Chains A and B, each alone.
Chain A
């Protein structure tokens, strides 16, 4: 059997029925097989970055491994940002790239790039296939590695002579033999007991949970744990949805733009039970100041995460689901009355708020909060990166795991639309919403056409403040308001040194996103006044196909609360009440 056929057969044996990608010279043999493969739905994106993010969104929404196929050289390099995004957020993905013929590797051949060299540092593992005989095992291994242990992207670089070569007696392997790869899933009994004892002794325990809960499908075990122990929980952005926002023990998202109660809780707790989190600097602030009063227990499937950023007192290596199951057997019911009333006090004292009534312009928080009214309970919300992302994390009412898809680690602008597209392909029964900024949407706006042509009904809401808002916010707060290159309306007639909008600003914002949407076959709406928002949302969200709603919001609203970079978790700035 030919290599190309083996590849597609292997993918099907791994349960793949949707692939995102883009053809090119050296992968024609693979596309030639796809041409007559009815079992696989191939989505031709308009850019390889879109394909990689779509495969990522597909994986985030389902837990299944996302797959994309791109060509060599520029095809492969265009996919890089998407792969790195998946790596930082531990998303299972298999990326297949074409490569020039083995005999041409190293000659700077047409569309040659050293994909295995580039991919090495941004993949969980990667392969350059040397012969067709290796191919079946590599496919099997790639899927196993991508979606076991701590998930992550795996790249397979596939020279054109390998896909054209014949293999006699092809059989897809049943087993894999990877002596160097055996993730530990069960927690060590002694450590579990130690953690259970620490919980028994604690006065102010706090759960700090993240993406690991979602990737190991441990949300029900976590809820059981919380219901039994009444331990309050802060959820990182990657973990949003694993505990419903209205759960009485849910404190909120901690970190730079987290809710104040969650950050104060981090500072005040005496036992921190960290599960499936990686003590990211956007959460800890300066590491030596983080959770000073707390004994820190860290549960993670990746032993290298434990002790990486913050010293750990009770390390538990294992899969969140298994460890929580084990823990739940060892725990007695608890109340933590004083501690929980302190948390309620903090929540009451520092609610997230905005004041639309006293503003003529639409406040971005109001726009995002209003989305809640028009989307069903099981909707999936994807975001881009920036201010709107933080407001979405703050105001969208997360109810289910795998319902909030956002580039957390890499912070990739342009992620939202293609990721939403991937999620919509994976979950045709759910409404998928993409919330973007006017900067981020333009980074992969070409995928609107992919949505239109395939009738992928993504509802995109663009929060348009005509700025690269998050960077502008930093310039506003820490760089003396010097808005260097963050205004998307700035033209050559503007003064070079501009400190904000005034009467002589250019009147028009390019592009007209509503028209761009329409030109791509996506129904476009533009909302300029607060009182027009609900009626437009109502109509737009009721459309069967893809739509884009451009909401023109107040230009200078900042995201608060905020812990400035380098500050402690209790050095929060609340900003003006807008």
Chain B
């Protein structure tokens, strides 16, 4: 069954590591839905969170190939954990006017989306949530006219204190 997997690769921070990881996936014919690379509590170690769609076998192959890279110290398909936290972040700019402004603000309130900037024609909001909730927000804001948005892509952490991702 084709489904989304969230894979976290722990890597040594060396030049070109992101290109190495994403290049490997491209080379092996996998599509990356999103990729985030960011430093961790250890400045030499980066975590790359990848969302890749595929069958169990394909994803197993992806993790094995990633594990083979000399600069990766750990690769976890976190989707296999029962309890893990996934978040995505969005900044969204919506067209507003005097008439619908309060309706937009009300919806934002329901989602706990925070306003970042507002003028008489636009409102910019931010939200950190699960991807599904983000998609719902986009869907509900569409009728007002979305000016633009940026999404971070997903990143994740296991809840299990004995296991680090």
Contact = CB atoms under 8 A, between A and B. Distances in A.
Interface of A: 116-117, 120-121, 124-125, 128, 130, 145, 178-181, 302-304, 307-308
Interface in B58-83: 60-61, 64-65, 67-73
Given A120-B23, A121-B27, A303-B67, A180 B73 contact: yes
Given A303-B67, A304-B68, A308-B61, A180 B11 contact: yes
A145 B61 CA distance: 21
B110 interface: no
Interface string B83-125: 0000000000000000000000000000000000000000000
B43 interface: no
A125 B73 CA distance: 15
Interface stretch (B14-22, B128-136, B139-147, B150-158): B14-22
Nearest to B9: A180
Query: Top 5 A-B pairs ranked by shortest CB distance?
Result: A304-B64, A180-B73, A125-B70, A181-B70, A179-B73
B61 A304 contact: yes
A178 B61 CA distance: 22
B71 A128 contact: no
A130 B64 CA distance: 29
Nearest to A141: B70
B148 interface: no
A130 B15 contact: yes
A348 B24 CA distance: 46
B124 to A, nearest CB: 35
B65 A304 contact: yes
Contacts of B27: 121
Nearest to A149: B68
A130 B14 CA distance: 11
B23 to A, nearest CB: 6
Please classify the interface of chain B as helix (H, G, I), strand (E, B), loop, or mixed, using the class held by over half of its residues: helix
Contacts, number: 42
Contacts of A125: 69-70
Contacts of B23: 120-121
A302 B69 CA distance: 12
A178 B70 contact: yes
B118 to A, nearest CB: 42
Given A117-B19, A120-B16, A180 B61 contact: no
A560 B33 CA distance: 46
Interface of B: 11-12, 15-16, 19-20, 23-24, 27, 57, 60-61, 64-65, 67-73
A355 to B, nearest CB: 46
Nearest to A124: B70
Nearest to B69: A180
A124 B12 CA distance: 17
Nearest to A178: B70
7 contacts: A120-B23, A180-B11, A180-B12, A180-B72, A181-B70, A304-B65, A307-B61
A180 B71 contact: yes
B13 to A, nearest CB: 12
B19 A120 contact: yes
B70 A128 contact: no
Contacts of A120: 16, 19-20, 23
Given A117-B16, A178-B70, A308-B61, 10 more contacts: A116-B16, A120-B20, A121-B23, A179-B73, A180-B12, A302-B68, A304-B61, A304-B68, A307-B57, A307-B61
Nearest to A121: B27
A124 B24 CA distance: 12
Contacts of B67: 303-304
B112 to A, nearest CB: 39
A96 to B, nearest CB: 18
Contact of B12 (A116, A117, A179, A307): A179
Nearest to B57: A307
A155 to B, nearest CB: 12
Q: Which of A125, A128, A180 has the most CB of B within 10 A?
A: A180
Nearest to A181: B70
Contacts of A116: 16
Contacts of B70: 124-125, 145, 178, 180-181
A209 to B, nearest CB: 22
A308 B65 CA distance: 10
Nearest to A145: B70
A246 B18 CA distance: 51
Nearest to B72: A180
A178 B72 CA distance: 10
A303 B69 CA distance: 12
Contacts of B12: 179-180
A128 B19 CA distance: 14
